Amino acid sequence: MKLGAFSISLSVKNLKASKEFYEKLGFTQFGGDESMNYLIMKNEKTLIGLFHEMFENNILTFNPGWDQEAKTLESFDDVREIQADLKSKGIQFAQEADPASTGPASFLVFDPDGNGILIDQHV
């Protein structure tokens, strides 16, 4: 199973303060928009998403179809294929992708400790 690019999505209280903090750690803005309440920060191949008032807890995020540079991969496992495989293994879903759809879609599962795992395909 190929899950694609990995990042951690952090729920932050103050987007500007969080951006400034991560810049001190060597991160630079890679994507996102402060006016939309989120930024994607990058340090080499490490990605951190900063999200203000978009969700309660931190989430592990995987992007099928993207590499760590957010470039489309030639070959990847579609989010719906990953979802079907996990369903066959008994994984419970908090949010599902429409199996009849194509293109961008996402689903959300929680690990046994309640950590959110978002599989979010943009292509």
Across residues 69-96, what is the average pLDDT? 97
* CB environment 2-25: b (16+ within 10 A), e (fewer): ebbbebebbbbeebeebbeebeee
Is-above-0.85 flag for pTM?
yes
Given pLDDT bands bounded at 50, 70 and 90, which one contains residue 108? very high
Alpha carbon distance 71, 81 (integer Å): 20
The whole-number average pLDDT for the span 63-89 is: 97
- pLDDT, position 35: 96
User: Could you read off the pLDDT of 64-76 as tens digits, one per residue?
Assistant: 999 999 999 999 9
What percentage of the chain carries pLDDT values higher than 70? 100
- Give pLDDT, residue 32: 96
Quote the DSSP letter at residue 90.
T
Whether CATH 3.10.180.10 fits 5-121: yes
- At residue 57's C-alpha, the angle toward residues 82 and 21, to 5°, is 110
